[in-house]
Amino acid sequence: MEQPQQNHGEPIDEHQAAAKAAILDECDNLLAAGITFVAVHFDGYGDDGTTEEAKCYAGECFASDEHEPVKYDASRLQEHFEALVPFGYENDCGGFGDVVLDVSARKLTVERNDPFEDYTTTTYEV
């Protein structure tokens, strides 16, 4: 079930605001290169996590598992994207997701998926 939230109801901090501005400042250069989406995937659990390198796509929609990334050096944006990765995604059962820039819309979104463990209890008399 998808639950849209604005940074869990809290404003972004100064570092994140600066990172967002730096990423959005690159949109014209990315569009000129034919890039439509830039994404950084994060994944972790058990207090350990990793953030992948920024990947660029030239498709009509972002679907990392359906489209191959195009060759474009987005390394200068890596640190800025990492600033927007949700804090604590790697804790406990962990989490994974993507920070995605829609270049033409100049819109950044974070999709975070948090798995959870559940159990059921059955009590009966024998």
- Encode pLDDT of 63-72 as tens digits: 767 788 999 9
- Cα within 13 Å of Cα(106), Cβ side: 8
* Residue 118 within a domain: no
Boundaries of domain holding 84: 12-113
**Per-residue pLDDT at 55 exceeds 90:** yes
* Residue 54 within a domain: yes
- Encode pLDDT of 79-108 as tens digits: 999 998 887 777 777 788 899 999 999 999
pTM above 0.85, yes or no: no
* Residue 94 within a domain: yes
**In this structure, are residues 38 and 56 in contact, taking their beta carbons and an 8 Å threshold?**
yes
Instruction: Decide: residue 12, CB within 10 A, 0-12 exposed, 13-18 middle, 19+ buried.
Output: middle
* Residue 119 within a domain: no
